[in-house]
Amino acid sequence: QVQLVESGGGSVQAGDSLRLSCVASGRAFSTYSMGWFRQAPGKERDIVAGITWSGGRTYYADSVKGRFTVSRDNGKNTMYLQMNSLKPEDTAVYYCAATSRSSPPLRPASFDSWGQGTQVTVSS
């Protein structure tokens, strides 16, 4: 499976911006889709944004649409999540994930490889 490492989290105030990065290596399969998930304390892990690796088609959860932008640099094997206008409800551990499925259901079970997670804390 592909190995993933996230970075870029931190503690910020509402209205600030952060950019998360996810570096992929050690592929054992063709990675067709990648995504960002987040999990707040006491809550389940949910999709934030997704992207197809070759075509760049994107998906956003309604809660982040218009504020977050997912992108990828194929040459650097890196996926990014630009987070603007952050809100306290964005506070969570953010995880990078990858799958060989071209159009997977947007739930954690669809993804085979996961990063360690990076903490994002937004204060009001």
Non-local (6+) Cβ contacts of 9 within 8 A are 18, 20, 94, 118, 119, 120
**CA atoms of 10 and 12, how far apart (whole Å):** 6
Contact assessment for residue 46 and residue 62, using Cβ atoms and an 8 Å cutoff: no
Give tens-digit pLDDT for 41-93. Answer: 999 999 999 998 888 899 999 999 999 999 999 888 899 999 999 999 999 99
Give tens-digit pLDDT for 31-49. Answer: 789 999 999 999 999 999 9
The burial class, CB within 10 Å (0-12 / 13-18 / 19+), for 122 is: buried
